[in-house]
Homo-oligomer: A and B are copies of this chain.
């Protein structure tokens, strides 16, 4: 439990120590672990975020992940929308932890950011947290460096506007990152970090949340106060909450960053978060079309009924049929075409 004299006593705090712990054996969602069947609405209560309103959905640039509520909740979304509508400066931060090859689940928020950039001119920052992955994963610095270079190619392939996009690699750009992180670290207690992330094994992992907070404030520190939106899978929300807490301490001239929280792309093998641990099959961004087809054919969970008889009787269940879900998440933009596909599954 946090010390009541520490950061968590801030009246402005959003780092509720209960937020990321398991709720009566139901499900766990933290930046380092997701288990159980996630109740996305209950998660908002835990985290203190709010569902997107219909009005907000209409005001975002049109995208299937917005329209279909894959990104379904947020924090301070209106400030971002107002700046985007008024042609005022506004920014998006969405990054990557380079611990292995990037797969489809990693790229969804980048696709969304690209869409927003093209529609309203958002500046996009893409931090690659090689420091965190070195500290959190049992890999050498050289191995993480290799993944960083490979992931960088995948990020570039997304097609951002080079004039309006900045890619940051924590160790390579430490001259920018570290001095800011030190300033933020002065407002972040070990007790707060433990309350949000659990006990950390090394002082590197204790310090890292200050680096993460730096990422989310970079657009404002480079170009002045402006609404910043962070589109991320909902399990990464604690990072945003830490940053908002620290930003509120007025260590630096910034506003709190907002968040746009997304559901997990389901695993090829069925409901649950797509794994990047390497043992579960997944579609990597560098796979060629034949490999993608073979992976889907071999591994994708389809139909959703217990037996062939039940499937023949009731038809498939689109809510768990993985090929349909992947198309619905992002890869079939046309709602009518998607509805036809849904009917085919049933």
Contact = CB atoms under 8 A, between A and B. Distances in A.
Interface of A: 131, 134-135, 141, 170-175, 177-179, 182-183, 185-190, 193, 200-204, 206-207, 209-210
Contacts of A206: 190, 203, 206-207
Contacts of A193: 203
Contacts of A190: 190, 200, 202-203, 206
A259 B173 CA distance: 32
25 contacts: A131-B179, A134-B186, A135-B182, A141-B183, A171-B178, A171-B179, A173-B175, A174-B179, A175-B175, A177-B178, A185-B203, A185-B207, A186-B202, A186-B204, A187-B202, A188-B204, A189-B202, A190-B190, A190-B202, A190-B206, A203-B206, A203-B207, A203-B210, A204-B210, A206-B206
A153 B286 CA distance: 53
Contacts of A209: 203
A178 B174 contact: yes
A202 B183 contact: no
Given A173-B175, A187-B202, 9 more contacts: A134-B183, A171-B179, A174-B174, A174-B177, A174-B178, A175-B175, A189-B201, A190-B202, A206-B207
A190 B198 CA distance: 13
Contacts of A182: 131, 134-135, 171, 204
Contacts of A189: 201-203
Nearest to A171: B179
Nearest to A175: B175
Contacts of A177: 174, 178
Contact of A178 (B141, B178, B187): B178
Q: What are the 7 closest A-B residue pairs judged by CB atoms, nearest first? A: A185-B204, A174-B178, A207-B207, A171-B179, A175-B175, A178-B178, A174-B174
A104 to B, nearest CB: 29
A210 B190 CA distance: 16
A145 B174 CA distance: 18
Contacts of A178: 131, 170-171, 174, 177-178
Contact of A188 (B170, B171, B202): B202
A19 B110 CA distance: 51
A202 B185 contact: yes
